[in-house]
Structure 1
Amino acid sequence: MKFKLIALDLDGTTIDRRLYLSDANRDAVNDAIRQGSIVAIITGKMFAAALPFAERFQGAAYLFASNGANVYDIRLQQELISFPIRAEHLPQIIHTIEKHRALYRIYTRDAMFAAEESHLVDSIRRDYPDLPVFVGPIPLNKTYYKIFVQDDDAKLAAITQDLQGLPLQIHPSDNHNIEITNAQANKGEALRFLKQHLQIATENVLAIGNHDNDMPMFAEAGYAVAVANAPAYVQKRVHMVTRPCEENGVAFALAQLGICRMDSII
């Protein structure tokens, strides 16, 4: 099966919870690129955190960060489009999250902000030591692309309900979290834009992901693959379920579909 465009999620799909990219997954994606597939990394990660991972592939062409809020041509080193959270909605969003006493962090293109110290801040400092991190009152004069909220499910449901009237995308990307972006910043819109930009038909697109925020991307692909660690409701929406992320699921799927050499997964 030949696909001209491969849309690839990172966290929980291509890299594991330790942010580890296996040799097998890297080599399989590189082999697909050598054989002519265009690879687009479409991730919930903020731009500054995602770009170093995208650049570990030899020839990945596009990066869609913060679920498509930043659309970047890697080869041209040029941002194509961006969809920040609208500034007039920020006070209401932040007030709503803080009213429910939920933990959150908020991203510009290249820095992270948080209202207070927490494990959410500690994990960013640990995993991305070069990323600027600011803790304190959230400055409202910045351009923000995504808000990550993590807490118990009841709080997340209440926040989602309270923000229903705003033009936002709100998706879980893992257990006990939600990601808030501009209404136009979701992985499906990102992939639709890229198909039109490259004039590639839907049937020539493969998408591989693992969670709720990947389902809009699956809907824009001719063939959708979920790793086996994806929730059951996500697995039901795809054409193929591959091995778990920790067992080189991306490499296995590409090999099974004839996109890379089978020895890439060994």
Structure 2
Amino acid sequence: MDIKLIALDMDGTLLNCDEAVSDFNREKIAEALAKDVQVVLSTGRWLGSCYPYAESLNLSSFLITCNGGEIWTIDKKLKERHLLDPQRIQMMWELAEGLRMHARMVSTDRIWFGERPDDFSTHEWLKFGCESHDTEKLDTLVKELSHYDDLELTNSLPINIEVNPKGVHKASALETVCDALGITMENVMAAGDSLNDIKMIQEAGVGVAMGNAQEAIKNVADYVTDTNNQHGVGKAIDKFVLSK
């Protein structure tokens, strides 16, 4: 497989449990870049919390943020943005509040955690999220939200749920990036650990699950690498990019 782009989830994948990029991962990314292979962060994080990592890794093309809700160039020019209806955001916040769950909402101007705006309609909304160790609450929320066909439901941890507009996910954003770079998804190696990574792992030429990934991710991946604390990303780059 002629890999020309490496798409990396961040939390649980590129980053170890200290939210750091290991020296080994950093070295292998630098070697891939030296071979003119693009490296793209494809994350549920918003731009402000992932850009410093991209800068420190000397990445040079695009950033996929908020699970595909936005695509940015490395010089912070917005290429694409997909927004949730403010009424949907308010409905989800009220559902979470009724279940006594704290919502984490991402608007284009800030992150809202455990609080709400006075008027939802005065903000542009990228993503909704909720987290709980109470699986019954999570199941109830998923059941309620599954009735709305304009929502894309996923997670970034087994204990959370994340919501984007329908059809907005990391794979759709990667397809846009590939078009811009003149390559196809067959030229992509994608690595991740959670349900918000599953579509990009399925559609990539090489789909890599982390050793710490949810079982559903391992089941659809072409390859299972080591964990995020054992440099799994760097080892996968070595195997599928640098040794070719």
Give the TM-score taking structure 1 as reference length. Answer: 0.85
Letter matched to residue 56 of structure 2? R
Q: Deviations along 1:211-256, whole A, 9 cap, x unmatched?
A: 1110111122111111101122211111111111101111111112
Letter matched to residue 173 of structure 1? S
SS in 1 for 2:220: coil
Aligned to 2:36: 36
Whether 1:219 and 2:218 are equivalent positions in the alignment is no
Mapping of residues 199-238 of structure 1, within 5 Å: 199-238=182-221
Unaligned runs of 5+ in 2: none
Moved more, 194-203 or 173-182: 194-203
**8 A contact 1:71–1:190 mirrored in 2:** yes
SS in 2 for 1:165: coil
Quick one: structure 1 residues 138 and 48, their matched pair in 2 at CA, closer, same or farther if it must change by over 3 Å? Answer: farther
Whether 1:244 and 2:227 are equivalent positions in the alignment is yes
Aligned to 2:55: 55
Quick one: structure 1 residues 35 and 51, their matched pair in 2 at CA, closer, same or farther if it must change by over 3 Å? Answer: same
**8 A contact 1:69–1:145 mirrored in 2:** yes
SS in 2 for 1:101: coil
Whether 1:165 and 2:147 are equivalent positions in the alignment is yes
Q: Deviations along 1:50-84, whole A, 9 cap, x unmatched?
A: 11112121134111111010100114x31101012
Unaligned runs of 5+ in 1: 116-134, 262-266
**8 A contact 2:189–2:206 mirrored in 1:** yes
Give the TM-score taking structure 2 as reference length. Answer: 0.92
The runs of 4+ residues in structure 1 deviating greater than 6 Å are: none
SS in 2 for 1:55: helix
Number of residues of Structure 1 aligned to a counterpart in Structure 2: 241
Quick one: structure 1 residues 4 and 100, their matched pair in 2 at CA, closer, same or farther if it must change by over 3 Å? Answer: same
RMSD: 1.8
SS in 2 for 1:236: helix
Aligned to 1:153: 135
**8 A contact 2:175–2:184 mirrored in 1:** no
Aligned to 1:88: 87
Among all aligned residue pairs of Structure 1 and Structure 2, give the percentage whose two residues are the same amino acid: 27
Mapping of residues 63-82 of structure 1, within 5 Å: 63-75=63-75, 77-82=76-81
